[in-house]
Structure 1
Amino acid sequence: MANERLVEFWAKTIAMRSPVIMQQLHGAALGLIADRRAMQRTLPPEFVHCPSLDMLLALFVADGHAMPVADFITAAPAAAAVARRWIDVFVQRDLVSVRNGVASLTEAGFRMIADTCQAVIEAQMGSRASSLN
């Protein structure tokens, strides 16, 4: 319970400092989800198969960075057994907590995905800047 409050605290702290930053991180995560789905339509599944990333991105963009475990399991195009094993890994690494049938990002999970989205934003900005020269 304390972890969920801490994630909410971090999300609100970022949003209060700059709602634009939180919107950008959320947008980057949504973009990554859309990009991965597009690639999954055109490439062999094994080329883009990463259920752990799909699941964490889905949790990051979910309201309150939480969702029912059943929805979390179906967030990735993988067998339910594979998704359940990933949930165990996330919990062991303190990236996700599961309570009362709800999966939530922990502070570490929130920060990791937020940092990942920030890195993607910076990489895209860098590639745009270099293409202008």
Structure 2
Amino acid sequence: MTSGQEFSLPLRVYIEDTDAGGIVYYVNYLKFMERARTEFMRAMGYGKDYIFNNDLMFVVRNVAVEYRAPAKLDDELIATAEITELGGASMTFAQRVLRGDEVLAGGDIRIACVDSTSVKPRRIPRDMVARLSGAE
């Protein structure tokens, strides 16, 4: 199951995002993608209050990212997030970081749902699966 909705988050590159060469340090693309996933979930009605009140945590299980071109200081970027796979206890997001139409980085990030106390895998709540899959 997939949501079929691509979420977009505008970003700007600040000095703290760059390395000594003035380009975005590679790990910061993962931070941009994390922000897009977080804001996507918030827009779907699953902000931190919902997550914490339901004793959930979503943790990164796997990351595969391809870096294509560098972003630089003061660039205006867009980070996207789209669910491409939604399982019982995990979901996979296709994500991109763009400057205009140019894809700077893109990849797939698999997120696992875990119990906040035991940190063991647990099923994603039914209401969340329904909304994220577009069934609601």
TM-score (norm 2): 0.24
The structure whose RCO (Cα within 8 Å, separation 6+) is larger is 2
TM-score (norm 1): 0.24
Query: Which has the larger helix fraction?
Result: 1
Query: Which has the larger strand fraction?
Result: 2
